[in-house]
A and B are shown apart, each in its own frame.
Chain A
Amino acid sequence: MARVLVGVKRVIDYAVKVRVKPDKTGVVTEGVKHSMNPFDEIGIEEAVRMKEKKLASEVVAVSCGPAQAQETLRTALAMGADRGIHVEVAGAEYDTLQPIHVSKILAKLAQDEKADLVIVGKQAIDDDCNQTAQMTAAILNWPQGTFASKVEKTGEGLTVTREIDGGLETIKIKMPAVKAKKKPIKKVTPKDLGVDTAARIEVLSVEDPPKRQAGAILPDVDALVAKLKEGGHI
């Protein structure tokens, strides 16, 4: 049976309309509702389902971030994860923490914890990078099943149905693989794990996107047809 490591991230709640800071250094996070990245919730659910089907022996949730990341880990534990690992990264170090750093941390933990499968959400809804799974797999030299919509255990490996641009694709990957209260949460730092979190990027600015002006409400379909003609669309 497999031990599953699931990466979870605390992000601004998906329903919040973010505000850019006036000094253009980032978005306002203080006093804003945060929750678990929605794709990571799917990751935890999948891991817990594997446990229910006796395909997984233990589900370990990992989160990298400031002290509040523990809230996200507790959510994962409440959903059925067995234990949590909090990799504490805060302040300026967290501001420039990129998927490459998180991947190195996850890869090290996957080895230390003797995980057979790492699950992460396909992207975090704050940085929208969509990189961590792929990079973790690369560092471990494990296969990857990205954008998975269905995962089945077949023989020694997994059969993964992937959402691709034109439809669906099925691949087989070998295990180990990467595809996201009272229980214990262990606290470590990237340094403990031997991971260098030196900044790989410099944020030059964070700005509002160009605003779209609301147009006019039209009285009927004829008016819409006239507008489409006017715009050269028909």
Chain B
Amino acid sequence: MEHSIQLLGHLRCPKYSSIRGTMLSVFVKRGSSSRNISSLLSRFQSTLVIAEHNNEKLLPVTLNALTAAKKLGGEVTVLVAGTKCGPIAEQVAKAPGIAKILVAENEAFKGFLPESLTPLVVASQKQFNFSHILAGATAFGKSLLPRIAAKLDVSPISDVIDIKAPDTFVRTIYAGNAVLTLKAKDPVKVVSVRGTSFEAAKLEGGSAKSENAPSGEYKTDLAEFVSQELSKSDRPELTSAKVVVSGGRGMKSGENFKLLYDLADKLNAAVGASRAAVDAGYVPNDLQVGQTGKIVAPELYIAVGISGAIQHLAGMKDSKTIVAINKDPEAPIFQVADHGLVADLFKAVPELTQKL
């Protein structure tokens, strides 16, 4: 019921006054229950989710974006674009409640460049007239969605943590120190979704059909993908790991991170770092947790030698349990830690690893 009220509220918006008459007359003719009103109205919400993948595997953040899309009500379409889409479309098809999958397999999408993907999404938007376009707030989503929004002349909404209504979104500002609820006035909502704020949709029970996305000249000479250097790791991926062990400036060197890798192995944890540790060159930048790095919300976050600057807390303070190991009892990290240990990390971490 709450759902239908939200949708009705949305319809009162003057923007939709032109369709209101038609919709209500359909309702009267059919003499339906309020449940049918809701399903009818929700037809006017239709969401495109842009799948993030690497031509082999669907990346997990897409599953979080699918849950956010469901929350909007209405039909959900998934766009799979890349140089190899078959396996990805097969994986997406298993997600329940998807209306259809648009597939765009083309050499032009090598490297997933926003310059080639944007015209594809704009062409799809022209054909299907979606009310919402969603993707995960990852490096891929953050790079692509604002370009699409500008081409549609709408103001995008970044990194949302909740959806209150089809036009009302919640996001954090000032490094997570304030929570902004906003109403988007533009007709099309282009939204990136914080993965840790929405459950992952399950890939079972669905049987969505694939069809070809609108074809066009998507090859661009504006930009060219050259190469990628991905950090190799057998550990779980940082943003979806259940346990994260992070090191900061207190680690003193890159070699000392081995202490954290040993601890992480015992806990099947991912390893993260503060910006100070990245800037000092101890670890690569893709391990950075914080306002301008990755946002994580694991069951257990162990901060080692991290003081707890505002910018770092922005990336981890939604963790379920926070443990801090730091020799400075005044470190701000202790103000958010559930369990604090004031100790020399070079003694405490090996002891902890050994006792687990």
Interface of A toward B, CB cutoff 8 Å: 12, 14-15, 17-18, 20, 27, 39, 98-100, 103, 122-123, 125-139, 141-147, 149, 159, 162-174, 199-209, 212, 214-218, 220-222, 224-225, 227-228, 231, 233-234
CB of B124 within 8 Å of the partner chain: no
**Counting CB contacts under 8 A, is B1 at the interface?**
no
Known: A212-B335, A216-B339, A224-B323. 8 other contacts (CB 8 A): A27-B173, A134-B150, A135-B149, A168-B285, A170-B228, A171-B111, A209-B178, A215-B337
Separation in Å of the A29 CB from the closest CB of chain B? 11
Interface of B is mostly: mixed
User: In the bound complex, what is the Cα–Cα distance between A166 and B310 (angstroms)?
Assistant: 24
B183 and A221 contacting across the interface, CB-CB below 8 Å? no
B186 located at the interface, meaning its Cβ lies under 8 Å from any Cβ of chain A in the complex: yes
When chains A and B are docked, how far (Å) is the Cα of A212 from the Cα of B299? 15
- What's the Cα separation between A144 and B151 when bound, in Å? 14
Taking A12-B174, A123-B292, A138-B151 as contacts, is the C-beta distance between A174 and B158 under 8 angstroms? no
Give the interface centre of A14, A136, A201, A208 by most chain B CB atoms within 10 Å.
Answer: A201
Residue of B nearest to A200 (CB): B155
Which residues of chain A are within 8 angstroms of B231 by Cβ–Cβ distance? 166-167
Which of chain B's residues have a CB closer than 8 A to the CB of A214? Answer: 334-337
Measured CA separation A183–B38 after assembly (Å): 61
Contact among B226, B299, B336 for A170, CB-based, below 8 A: B226
A-facing residues in B153-200 (Cβ within 8 Å)? 153-159, 168, 171-186
- Identify the 7 closest CB pairs spanning chains A and B, nearest first: A138-B150, A200-B155, A134-B146, A215-B338, A135-B150, A143-B222, A131-B146
Q: Give, as a whole number of angstroms, the nearest-CB distance from A144 to chain B.
A: 6
**Chain B 311-339: CB-based contact to A (< 8 A → 1; otherwise 0):** 10000010001110000010000111111
CB within 8 Å of A: which residues of B?
A: 111, 113-115, 118, 138-140, 142-151, 153-159, 168, 171-186, 220-231, 239, 243, 267, 284-286, 291-292, 294, 299-300, 310-311, 317, 321-323, 329, 334-343, 348, 351-352, 355-356
Instruction: Choose from A103, A126, A138, A145 the contact partner of B173 (Cβ within 8 Å).
Output: A126
Across the interface, do B352 and A163 meet the contact criterion of CB distance under 8 Å? no
Q: Is the CB of A17 within 8 A of B310?
A: yes
Residues of chain B with a CB closer than 8 A to A145's CB: 223
Query: Which chain B positions have C-beta within 8 A of A205?
Result: 180-181
Is the beta-carbon distance between A147 and B339 smaller than 8 angstroms? Answer: no
Question: Closest CB-CB distance, B307 to chain A, in whole Å?
Answer: 12
Which residue of B is nearest A159, CB measured?
B226
B223 proximity list for chain A (CB < 8 A):
143-145, 171-174
Q: Is the CB of B286 within 8 A of A215?
A: no
Given known A167-B286, A201-B185, contact A128–B338 (CB-CB < 8 A): no
Report which of A103, A144, A216, A228 forms a contact with B143, defined as CB distance below 8 A: A144
Residues in chain A near residue B183, CB distance under 8 A: 201-202, 204
Out of B143, B155, B157, B286, name the residue touching A146 (CB < 8 Å): B143
Given A128-B173, A169-B111, A233-B321: A139 and B150 interface contact (C-beta under 8 Å): yes
Asked if A134 contacts B143 (CB within 8 A), the reply is yes
Q: Complex formed: what's the CA distance from A205 to B179 in Å?
A: 8
A128–B243 contact, CB under 8 A?
no
Inter-chain contacts of B286 with A (CB < 8 A): 163-168
Q: Which residues of B contact A203 (CB under 8 A)?
A: 180-182
| Minimum distance in angstroms from A232 CB to a CB of chain B | 9
> Are the CB atoms of A143 and B185 closer together than 8 Å?
no
Point out the residues of chain B lying under 8 angstroms from A138, CB to CB. Answer: 118, 146-151
Q: Would you give 13 A-B contacts (Cβ < 8 Å), ordered by A?
A: A14-B311, A125-B174, A147-B139, A165-B286, A167-B229, A168-B285, A169-B225, A208-B179, A209-B178, A214-B337, A216-B339, A227-B339, A234-B356
Report whether A173 and B175 are in contact in the complex, using a CB–CB cutoff of 8 Å.
no
Cβ–Cβ < 8 Å partners of B334 in chain A: 214, 217
**From residue A217, how far is it (CB to closest CB) to chain B in Å?**
5
